[in-house]
């Protein structure tokens, strides 16, 4: 696995964690942390080439 695939999996994991933590309750307390994690995940995703070669 190359670096881009690892970064893509990491960012997808962060976004899934944000969604599941929002569904599990206590969303008001962790809202800003989730937004920051979501922004970091969107920045980590390699945007120029989104080719899924595994």
Evaluate whether 6 touches 43 at the Cβ level (below 8 Å): no
Neighbouring CB atoms inside 10 A of 45's CB total: 15
Residues of the chain predicted below pLDDT 70: 1, 21-31, 45-54
SS (H, E, C) the chain: CCHHHHHHHHHHHHHHHHHHHHHCCCCCCCHHHHHHHHHHHHHHCCCCCCCCCC
The pLDDT value given to residue 1 = 58
What is the rounded distance in angstroms from the CA atom of residue 50 to the CA atom of residue 8?
A: 9
């Amino acid at each position: 696995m190359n670096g881009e695939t690892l970064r893509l999996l990491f960012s997808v994991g962060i976004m899934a964690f944000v969604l599941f933590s929002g569904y599990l309750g206590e969303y008001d307390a962790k809202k800003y942390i989730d937004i920051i994690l979501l922004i970091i995940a969107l920045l980590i995703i390699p945007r120029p080439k989104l080719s899924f070669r595994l």
